[in-house]
Structure 1
Amino acid sequence: MHFTEAKGILSNKNGMNIYRGCTHGCIYCDSRSLCYNMSHAFEDIEVKINAPELLEKALRSKRRKCMIGTGSMSDPYLPAEKELKLTKKCLEIIEKHGFGAAVLTKSDLILRDIDLLASINEQSKAVVQMTMTTFDDKLCSIIEPGVCTSGRRYEVLMEMKKQNIPTVVWLTPFLPYINDTFENLNGLLEYCAEAGVRGIICFGIGLTLRDGNREYFYAALDRHFPGLSDRYRREFGNAYMIDSANHQSLMRKLDEFCHKYGILQNNECFDYLSELPDKYEQMSFF
């Protein structure tokens, strides 16, 4: 871990990444791709130590309240956050100025800040987004070894439900011949139904591979699923989009589920995440 003084914190779309890099160790992680031009080792977390000060300045200068997002490139609840508390400080600033917050994570550390998120949601709007890929916790621990299992993430979603904090689940990626099964999808959808999620984001059954993350992914396959990387090379070559043979049938199942429960999907979710009405009314959960 190393520290840096950033020049700015918010993107043009009001997103922020307090940390850069990750220690979750997810075998499929796109953020490892060389195209992002990271100048340090991926596990050597870059910490924008002045993030709260930059956010305070940025929010003071805004003429209208809006949603502030975090977690798109690096999880805001990495283990380092437990001691540094930079994400918590930024949420406190968001609360103080009456802005909304949309937080994306895989970590149960977010429960530390649940009262703060509930307060933001009470006065403006807070949405917690949770990535879930693998229903079987033993398999999940192989695919995402440095973070809590999907079973624990389901418990986080249930705690958010108790606090009336809306949630969106990212069901992605699905790895061909590993977790691209009806059994896996059905288990994850059961979690979503029980937790009363507001939306589900899933653009397809598969994953993306680029230079940088492809090599890391194949090395992980060689360790945990011998012979599978050779099958990937034969079937997919150097393709960017790796589609599961079960794509159409599983997406049909997902679409039917979302229609049945009135759950937002994909672009509808992005609209919902970015919207901060003048008077935000909390949704009731089924």
Structure 2
Amino acid sequence: METVPAKHLLQKTRSPAWFGTEYNLNLYRGCCHGCIYCDSRSECYRIDDFDRVRAKENAIPLLRQELAAKRQTGVVSLGAMSDSYNPFEEGQQLTRQALTLFLRHGFGAAIATKSDLITRDRALLAELSAQAPVIVKFSLSTADEGLAARVEPRAPSPARRLRALEQLSAAGVFAGVLLMPVLPLLEDEPDQVVELVRRAADAGARFIYPAFGVTLRQNQRAHYYRQLERHFPGLAERYRDLYGDAYWCASPRHRELYGVFSAACQRRGLLYTMEEIVRAYKPPRAEQLSLF
């Protein structure tokens, strides 16, 4: 496959409060899932031809050097900009090799993905979980197969993602759902949210972390509106009336949704706040007391 140059791979996390991670890692550039709402299309990220996946050049040798040079281990976030389990990963195995390096050097992993390809590495993730914090976040915005096919046209179906969640949970991996975005006027009926909570719980999810709305900026907004006009005629105009040029576009019923969502999570014993989730998968390190 095509590659792009890379001088550095492992970057210090700008927002460590986001699932308690210390480092970010993107082994690929671009994504081929085709999600119409993807924030990574935004101009600020400078990813040309976003739908084409390219690997970072010499990724594994470079990562090996950077991990060995770190004086402090930590949890590495994967999948923030492009899915680490895109279809090319099946042959390239960059993510699998990275997890093996984490195991060797004592680093944990926080993986966000829409792909059931991750089940290939469930034994490796379980082994890594025994020595370092590991969390897998399956990105889902709806459990409706037909709707998902229109808003995430080339991603594995929600049913496939939920089966993958079930397999990872059975293997002992701390896994759950990243319920975002919840697209206003498309995915924000209370029944839709409660159904996704039910199916995630049935699949063995430990948590669901939500955002009842969508972010829109720069060329991402233009792309999203074009897709809305194509698949949901008239909806883009309603967005323009509701949100103008706003970055954060909350569902008009976000307060109601959070109420039914949190109640459903409590009934099924699911964690749903960031603090609870981080405490559960990443217990505080015990500090050695000084003799003096």
- TM-score for both structures, normalised by structure 1: 0.90
Distance 1:229 1:19 in 2: 31
| Per-residue deviation, 1:180 | 0.8
Partner of 2:113: 105
| Per-residue deviation, 1:122 | 2.4
Partner of 2:178: 170
| Per-residue deviation, 1:223 | 1.2
Partner of 2:80: 72
Aligned residues: 277
Maintained 8 Å contact 1:67/1:276: no
Q: Is residue 37 from structure 1 mapped to residue 52 from structure 2 by the alignment?
A: no
Maintained 8 Å contact 2:10/2:25: yes
| Per-residue deviation, 1:161 | 1.4
Q: 1:34 to 1:139 in 2, by over 3 A?
A: same
Residue identity matched to 1:110: I
Identical columns (%):
38
Q: 1:168 to 1:270 in 2, by over 3 A?
A: same
Matched residue SS, 1:101: strand
Q: 1:44 to 1:54 in 2, by over 3 A?
A: same
Q: 2:243 aligns with which of 236, 240, 249?
A: 236
Distance 2:218 2:73 in 1: 39
Structure 1, unpaired ranges of 5+: 280-286
Partner of 1:83: 91
Structure 2, unpaired ranges of 5+: 14-22, 287-292
| Per-residue deviation, 1:90 | 0.6
Distance 2:197 2:250 in 1: 20
Distance 1:152 1:265 in 2: 22
Q: 1:273 to 1:56 in 2, by over 3 A?
A: farther
Distance 2:107 2:248 in 1: 36
| Cα deviations by residue, 1:211-240 (Å, 9 ceiling, x for unpaired) | 111111111111111111122112222221
Q: Is residue 197 from structure 1 mapped to residue 210 from structure 2 by the alignment?
A: no
Moved beyond 6 Å, runs of 4+: none
Maintained 8 Å contact 1:65/1:276: no
Distance 1:174 1:198 in 2: 20
| CA RMSD, 1 decimal | 2.0
Partner of 2:17: none
> Matches of residues 206-225 of structure 1 in structure 2 within 5 Å?
206-225=213-232
| Per-residue deviation, 1:276 | 6.3
Q: Which moved more, 1:255-264 or 1:113-122?
A: 255-264
- TM-score for both structures, normalised by structure 2: 0.88
Maintained 8 Å contact 1:141/1:149: yes
